[in-house]
Amino acid sequence: MLFDTHSHVKPWSHDASQTIDQLLNDAEQKGLAGICLTDHYEKDLFYERGYEDIFDPDEYFRHLGSKRLDPNSAVKQGKPAFLIGAELGWLPHLRDHLIWLTSNYPFDNVILSMHVFRGSDPYINENFFSEGIEVVYPEAIADMVDMIETFSDFDILGHFDYVSRYYKSENAKMLYKHAPDQFDSLFKKMAEDGKCLEINTRTTVKMRSMGYIKSESLPDPDIIKRYLELGGKYISIGSDSHHNGDAALIFSEMKEWLQSNGVNRLTYFVERKPVEYII
């Protein structure tokens, strides 16, 4: 049984349409061991709603705290565990604010994600790739290195291949060879600090919608192999679910792919502590 470490619900995430009850029911229907809610905390970013895409942490825990179900209790009740986390959107000037947030609220799991690269968001900027992926991809990974060197109070590095979702070309998939030096720096720092690498299945599904065949849409094996070679220990699997029915998105396929690339255990977090399980 697998654990989904990345999910979103309304009204806490601006781009989610599912409710918390739908998410929990989906997790149970999919036979998950557990799921962690990681709603967007994107301070100083404004999307569809016209105000910051952040949640009020006091209200967040008041509303969701009673639904939290730790893994041991979940096993006894025959239900998936439900943990409460957050996905922090990184901007360099937010360091102190994010330290305040993670220090003052009882998150189980903190995902650190980069959605804006040097002031530009590929989600909304049509010119983001004007210099080509030969320039953009190495810069994106280099920015992640700077990010984790600046801010360390997180557990999982979210979707390292995020930018590839928005490159409108047949060769959008991010490969290790696009940025070998940058990937090595990233993975060495993650291994040194005991951080977890997320394999985000939503990116794989996005690659398929862009024309990649099933086998080619999966992550580049060289990325996982290099992460392990450089001492990376923790790997999580996240659906990045935003809509009803998307929990555990293609998890069975991803499990087989991970096993074929030398991964025999995955990680989730409870009260910010890693829990490994065999797959």
Domain boundaries, the chain: 3-278
64-68: long-range contacts, CB 8 A cutoff, minimum separation 24: 64/20, 64/37, 67/20, 67/24
What does the pLDDT read at residue 253?
97
**Radius of gyration of the CA atoms of the chain, in A:** 18
* CA dist., res. 151 & res. 193, Å (int): 11
Residue 266 bridge partners (DSSP) = 277
* CA dist., res. 110 & res. 91, Å (int): 16
Is the separation of the CB atoms in 138 and 182 below 8 Å? yes
Query: What are the distances in angstroms from CA 56 to CA 119, 163, 251?
Result: 25, 28, 31
**Helix, strand counts (H, E) of the chain:** 10, 10
Place of tokens 């781009």: 15
What does the pLDDT read at residue 176?
98
Query: ∠ at Cα 195 (254, 5), nearest 5°?
Result: 45
**pLDDT tens, position by position, for the chain (279 residues)?**
999 999 999 999 989 999 999 999 999 999 999 999 999 999 998 876 677 889 999 999 999 999 999 999 999 999 999 999 999 999 999 999 999 999 999 999 999 999 999 899 998 888 999 999 999 999 999 999 999 999 999 999 999 999 999 998 889 999 999 999 999 999 999 999 999 999 999 999 999 999 999 999 999 999 999 999 999 999 999 999 999 999 999 999 999 999 999 999 999 999 999 999 999
How many residues are listed for the chain in this entry?
279
What does the pLDDT read at residue 49?
63
* CA dist., res. 209 & res. 213, Å (int): 9
* 3-278 belongs to CATH 3.40.980.10: no
Alpha helices in the chain (DSSP H): 20-29, 57-64, 71-77, 95-104, 133-150, 180-193, 201-209, 214-217, 221-229, 251-260
Residue 2: CB atoms within 10 Å: 21
